[in-house]
Chain A
Amino acid sequence: MFFFLSSPRLSPPNLLSSPAVQLSVPCSSKSPSDPSSPTPRNPSLPSPSPPADVDGLIGPGHPPRLASPLPLPAPPAHLMFLSRIVLRDLDSIDSPAASMASSKKLVTRDEWERKLRDVKIRKEDMNRLVMNFLVTEGFVDAADKFRVESGTQPDIDLATITDRMEVKRAVQSGNVQEAIEKINDLNPTILDTNPQLYFHLQQQKLIELIRAGKINEALEFAQEELAPRGEENQVFLEEIEKTVALLVFEDIKNCPYGELLDVSQRLKTASEVNAAILTSQSHEKDPKLPSLLKMLIWTQNQLDEKAAYPRINNFSTAALEDPAI
């Protein structure tokens, strides 16, 4: 029993590649049957694999994959933990599902937590990630405060955020003409080089005119400004047709293209404008954080195919959930 308690310290951080944690049913000749083991029949019990074994698996001459293995305090509640594992594993041997799981390696919560603890993350890098979010999403005041409070330098001139947010807000509140003028003040090449963005802004302008009930103005604008754009591009033409259709319906809220009048349409256009301005400032148009979170979902899904390990399913608590066996 004691060997097990001390084994976590001896093992290198990457226990996943150790045969000691492999669930293999039935007990194969490969499985270690340590004479001192209390339950030698159970192959899935984590047992003290000699470091040499594990090294061999990792490959000679290769340093451990994770950071240097600091000796860590023994895990709490070993005994309970041990008995839990034994019971669970005995259950799984009896169940027919066990053979299905046999190809997957099991990583216990204890081992996983040790790996998590060994990860080295710089505070400074997390600060930069947060700053990147504030800047990209346009939280200019918060970014400025964060600069002071955390000492993190923003990766863009904060003044440009203010301009960008003014444009975004203009679109969001329906002042499309004002937004177009502001964009041109900011950088006249943005609209020149983004015909699609310019079209969407014009379309939004038409939508706002219709929403305001300015029918004559809307018709005039559609004929003079939008119609020529439709001739150059089939997609634009369809969009124009949908938008103009709003004029035909007296009860526009219930017309088939009513969603164009929705707030979400404004937000869509606003976020397109936001992205174009960021790109013109040589900044990524999306914050880094959401794509890292997606990467976490993706990586967990990929790892599911190979191993049963503690997952994080709820990102708002970041709580580890016990591996399903």
Chain B
Amino acid sequence: MVANEVVAAAAAEEPAPASAGAGAVDPMRLASRWRSPAGWGAAAAEMEAEPAPSELNTTNSSGLFAVVSTDRMSVRYLGVNQHGHDVGVVQANRPAPTRRAVYYFEMGVKNAGQKGQTSIGFTTENFKMRRQPGWESNSCGYHGDDGYLYRGPGKSESFGPKFTSGDTIGAGINYFSQEFFFTKNGSLVGSFQKEIKGPLYPTIAVHSQDEEVTVNFGKEPFCFDIEGYIFEEKMKQQSVSDKLDLQPDISHWIVRSYLLHYGYQDTLNSFDMASETDPPSNHQNGYGEPPEMYGLSHRKLLRQLIMSGDIDSAFKKLGEWYPQVIKDETSVICFLLHSQRFIEFIRAGQLEDAVKYARSNLANFLTHKAFDGLLKESVALLAYEKPAESCIGYLLDSPQREFVADAVNAAVLSTNPNMKDPESCLYSCLEKLLRQLTVCSFERRAFNGDQGDAFLLHKEVQSCDRSRCS
């Protein structure tokens, strides 16, 4: 979200007011965690965005031997074929995207024409645009007239069934196993090692009178269950790493330290009680006490207050228990709490109080560049009759409260004189591990020619939901 990015950027330029002395934590760094739903969508898109083929390329085609329809989704052979160098071959407008587990597209044979020499495959950018995919080096193709697989000059082999009018043929790249695969009418025909490097263009070809094929880059549902295929590949992938051994009960330990970190004390107590009565009661053994016992019941209460919108009490309790956290009136924590108090007035419909509060408590922050964006958006809530339905309505959602509660939690943790690692105030053990996994996964993909999908927690959590539905 604009607000948070601006704030974070500004906070980065000048040391945040709150970070006095070494070891202090800048809670605005938590801002990078929180965005509006739209902001999250944009961020995810940015991470994975990669242009994908959408239509056939009409400029880089042989032109002479075939005609592409005006919607650029089908191709028909012109005239009569004479030899091996008058193939009507067409590439997609863009190469297959690589930052995913699998790329896949389909071709429908509308008319197998005189000889049924339609084909499907992948070619590189400089492919000779008058040859069948697979006849030249750096290309591969599955051909309808003989069902053979072609993968370069002189390299052809019996592969699958022939195909003809009415059949739907698919071609895909499995980036995890580094294989090409083909399908016919929804069934897998076969797969083979991908040896071609560089960008690969989905390619289809026609090569005899009246032949006509259509292409589907995913706008229409595929004949082949590609979701199921990807799911199975994922399972295969997972079964490789699932064979690895973990430290015993480490998951249990990580969950426990997460509950401690965020001050979810009631959950923690139930969790510990159940762990004791469970036969393998040695859960806590071996790893020592996490450092986050500090101020646990205080942090729990502060979270409850903020999550219920009672900012006044949160302020009071903080002043009682951790005065150093709010001592600096211009600190990030004070700003977040004040702006949340303001938001709570808006939520309650007390606009007059909101204005009064803003004048006496928020106006001072206007001089701080760091708070500009978030502040402006909060104040803008006043402008809407139904603020919850406005474009900044996300400020009224509970993730905003949680964001403030997490920031206060981090600030309280940072007052622990025994805290050795300021990073630990911001991030739980779980989060550190997930960050490491994300970076490792993206770096590994970068080394792998940018091929394959990388770990994103959000995608992973969603896939839990999906697999449950299926």
Residue ranges of A at the interface with B (Cβ–Cβ < 8 Å)? 14, 16-17, 59, 61-63, 65-68, 70-73, 107, 112, 115-126, 128-130, 132-134, 137, 139-142, 144-146, 148-151, 155, 172, 263, 267, 282-284, 287-300, 302-303, 306-307, 309, 312, 315-320
Contact = CB atoms under 8 A, between A and B. Distances in A.
B293 interface: no
B274 A155 contact: no
Contact of A290 (B49, B251, B300): B251
B253 A316 contact: yes
Contacts of A117: 29, 32
Given A142-B274, A298-B240, A300-B440, A133 B33 contact: no
Interface in B377-422: 398-399, 402-403, 406, 421
Given A121-B33, A307-B447, A294 B47 contact: no
Interface in B231-268: 238, 240-242, 244, 246-247, 250-255, 257-259, 262, 264-268
A70 B279 contact: no
Contact of B465 (A17, A144, A155, A293): A155
23 contacts: A63-B49, A68-B43, A70-B5, A70-B8, A72-B12, A115-B439, A115-B443, A116-B432, A141-B273, A141-B274, A142-B268, A148-B266, A267-B279, A282-B469, A283-B468, A288-B461, A289-B255, A291-B242, A297-B246, A299-B444, A315-B247, A315-B429, A318-B436
A117 B432 CA distance: 10
Contacts of A263: 279
Contacts of B265: 149
B458 interface: yes
B241 A297 contact: yes
B244 A297 contact: yes
Contact of A284 (B13, B274, B467): B467
Given A66-B442, A307-B447, A299 B455 contact: yes
A135 B32 CA distance: 29
B431 A294 contact: no
Contacts of A17: 446
A122 B457 contact: yes
Contacts of A120: 32-33, 35, 40, 43
A100 to B, nearest CB: 18
Given A126-B457, A294-B242, A318-B429, A145 B267 contact: yes
A288 B242 CA distance: 11
Contacts of A121: 33, 431, 434-435, 438, 457
Contacts of A315: 246-247, 250, 254, 429, 433
Contacts of A134: 255, 267, 271
B64 interface: no
Contacts of B469: 282
Contacts of A72: 12
A130 B242 CA distance: 19
Given A71-B12, A142-B271, A298-B244, A14 B33 contact: no
Nearest to B257: A316
A137 to B, nearest CB: 8
Contacts of B49: 63
B46 interface: yes
